[in-house]
Chain A
Amino acid sequence: MKHWNALAAIAVAVACLSTPAHADKLDDIISSGTLRCAVVLDFPPMGSRDADNNPIGFDVDYCNDLAKALGVTAEIVETPFPERIPALMSGQVDVGVASTSDTLERAKTVGFSVPYFAFEMVVTASDKSGIKSFDDMKGKTVGATAGTFEAIALEKQVTEWGAGEFRPYQTQADVFLALSQGQLDATVSTSTVAQANVKTGNYPGIAVVGKAPFDIDYVALFTNRDEYGFINYLNLFVNQQVRTGRYAELFEKWVGGEVPSLTVPNAYR
């Protein structure tokens, strides 16, 4: 009888050791040794490719930092804007480091961290259009990258104006191509993206003409909505990036200028 008790005790102990109560995503990432980040690589300076086709940019560095903090290797999974959610939900990536605006509508589907970056919106216009400010865009043909915060806001604005046309293009590159070809009169994009693209010289005849009066576009890391453990880690990670000065360092490296504040005045979060 004693034998059986001892055997049962061993069996229970082994069972407990080999099957943890509940392995969450954070555990899965640590045990797999790889952190797979969805990054948009058509969105300089946040994500793009260098001359050797290697992914570079703010988001790429941010993913690498996160992987380093977790003690795993980072894997950058190129993900166009519209494919961020399918990539996450089908388990191809663990986290989105993809300049994703944390709207309430989207938060019903995915779980967001606290904001890790903030964009200001500017108007970039073609020289021929004669547009000098945001209000000049009324009645003109304008466009933006489909699925982005600014595209949603701009489309709403065009509907409100009741004049002009809004065109969403699939990639940021197509928007600037259409703009420099004269197919679009103006676009609204994040100031970082606008400056980076104008600076390349690939798109002649366009210039940043002014600010767009949209809310500041806070972007957050995202993962599955129910992965509280991981979201908690992401929040702390974002906080640490700011605290240690790494956020400012990355901002200086990729964007330059005044580092945007990630906190909202007079609010808890």
Chain B
Amino acid sequence: MFSYKFQWNQAFARLPQMLDGALITMQIAILSMVLGILLAIVLTVFRRSGSRVLSGIATSWVEIARNTPALFQIYMAHFGVATFGIHFNPFTSLLIGITFNNAGYLAENFRGALKAIPETQTRAGRSLGMTSNQAFGYIMLPQMLRIAFLPMTNQMVWAILMTSLGVTVGMSTDLYGVTQALNALTFRTFELFALAGVVFYVIVKLIQFAARLIAMRLFRY
């Protein structure tokens, strides 16, 4: 049934274009992670604030981010908001979509990490004269980020892979977008997508390797 002659040189000839795309993919993933972590900290603070409005906002964010497909979130960041007259270009839409997803998942990771820190530490801080905010900022937050480090790497990998959903909002410069454009041009579907898969794999492996190096420093106690 499968009658197809693989012509790998046809795909390798396009590798430089795909690697340019890989850089854009990394760029989006890293930006979305940085923004996602900041937002997740804000959401965590919201949840602990005791204000019903703030914790309501945080809870709805986490619920939507975790319980709907990333594709839906990215699509909404492009076509959804456009119905209200707000227009983002594909890069921004994809970045917003992935950041939204990252923040939701990371907020949940942070919540778990906070639970792992004994409550007595806050009390110890308070008894030393720290305010509640100081105790959170100086004692809880650094430990929370360290405990949540491995889940954060996980989310980073997920962010890289999620960039491939950008094609649904017209993204054409990232790794997956470039691959799809080349596929339309040449119909060398299998070679091109296999190569893209390998590039994705290598990127993710590099991230995991970097994370392990950081973890070695971080967990050396």
Per a CB cutoff under 8 Å, which of A91, A152, A170, A177 touches B2? A91
Question: Which among B87, B90, B186 is the interface contact of A109 at CB below 8 angstroms?
Answer: B186
Q: Are A91 and B1 in contact (CB under 8 A)?
A: yes
Name 28 A/B residue pairs within 8 A (Cβ), A-sorted: A81-B184, A85-B183, A86-B190, A89-B3, A90-B1, A90-B2, A91-B2, A105-B187, A106-B186, A108-B7, A108-B10, A108-B186, A108-B187, A147-B180, A147-B181, A147-B184, A165-B89, A167-B89, A167-B90, A168-B180, A178-B82, A181-B79, A181-B82, A182-B85, A182-B87, A183-B78, A183-B79, A224-B3
Per-position contact with A for B64-89: 1 when CB-CB < 8 Å, else 0? Answer: 00000000000000110011010101
* Minimum CB–CB distance for A267 against chain B, Å: 23
Residues of A111-157 at the interface with B, using a CB-CB cut-off of 8 Å, are 141, 143, 146-148, 151-152, 155
Q: Say if the beta carbon of B19 comes within 8 Å of chain A.
A: no
Considering the complex of A and B, which 8 residue pairs feature the smallest CB-CB distances, nearest first?
Answer: A147-B184, A167-B170, A91-B1, A109-B187, A181-B82, A106-B187, A85-B189, A89-B4
Given known A181-B87, A183-B82, contact A82–B180 (CB-CB < 8 A)? yes
* Most chain A CB inside 10 Å of its own CB: which residue of B79, B89, B188, B189: B189
Contact of A146 among B82, B184, B190 (CB under 8 A): B184
Nearest-CB residue, chain B, relative to A151 = B184
A178 touches B79 (CB 8 A): yes
B172 interface residue per 8 A CB criterion = yes
List which B134-189 residues lie within 8 A (CB) of chain A. 167-170, 172, 177, 180-181, 183-189
| Minimum C-beta distance from B207 to chain A (A) | 27
Chain B, Cβ-Cβ closest to A25: B3
**Set B4, B82, B168: member contacting A170, Cβ < 8 A:** B168
CB-contacts of B45-101 with A (<8 A): 78-79, 82-83, 85, 87, 89-90
The answer to whether A85 touches B170, judged by C-beta atoms less than 8 angstroms apart, is: no
Report chain A residues within 8 Å CB of B10: 108
Q: A90-B2, A105-B186, A147-B184 are in contact. Are A181 and B83 (CB under 8 A)?
A: yes
B7–chain A nearest beta-carbon distance, Å: 8
CA distance A174 to B85 in the complex (A): 16
> Please, which residue of chain A has its CB at the minimum distance from the CB of B4?
A89
Interface assignment of A247: CB less than 8 Å from any CB of chain B: no
B170 near A168 with CB under 8 A, answer yes
A83 closest partner in B (C-beta)? B189
Chain A positions within 8 Å of B167 at CB level: 146, 168, 170
Contacts of A105 in B (CB 8 A): 185-187
Residues of B within 8 A of A81 (CB): 184
A169 at the interface (CB under 8 A from B): yes
Judge whether A82 and B90 touch: CB under 8 Å. no
CB-CB under 8 A from B90, the residues of chain A are: 167
On whether the beta carbons of A147 and B183 are closer than 8 Å, the reply is yes
Closest A residue to B10 using CB positions: A108
With both beta carbons as reference points, the residue of chain B lying nearest to A148 in the complex is identified as: B184
Which residues of A (162-181) have their CB < 8 Å from a CB of B?
Answer: 165-170, 174, 177-178, 181
User: Given A168-B181, A169-B170, is A85 in contact with B187 using a C-beta cutoff of 8 Å?
Assistant: yes
Find out whether the CB atom of B186 lies under 8 angstroms from the CB atom of A143. Answer: no
A226:B3 contact, CB within 8 angstroms = yes
Instruction: Give the Cβ gap from B117 to chain A, nearest Cβ, in Å.
Output: 45
B85 partner residues in chain A, CB cutoff 8 A: 182
The residue in chain B whose Cβ has the minimal distance to the Cβ of A81 is B184
Which chain B residue has the least Cβ–Cβ distance from A90? B2
Tell me the complex Cα distance, A90–B85, Å. 43
What residues of chain A lie closer than 8 Å to B78, measured between beta carbons?
Answer: 183
Shortest A59–chain B CB gap in Å is 18
Within 8 A of B (CB), among A215-236: 224, 226
Q: A89-B4, A181-B87, A226-B3 are in contact. Are A166 and B172 (CB under 8 A)?
A: yes
Residues of chain A within 8 A of B189, CB atoms compared: 85-86, 89
Complexed CA–CA distance, A233 and B199 (Å): 41
The distance from the CB of A40 to the nearest CB of chain B, in whole angstroms, is 13
Q: Report the bound CA distance from A110 to B181 in whole Å.
A: 17
Counting chain B CB atoms within 10 Å of each CB, which of A85, A152, A155 scores highest? Answer: A85
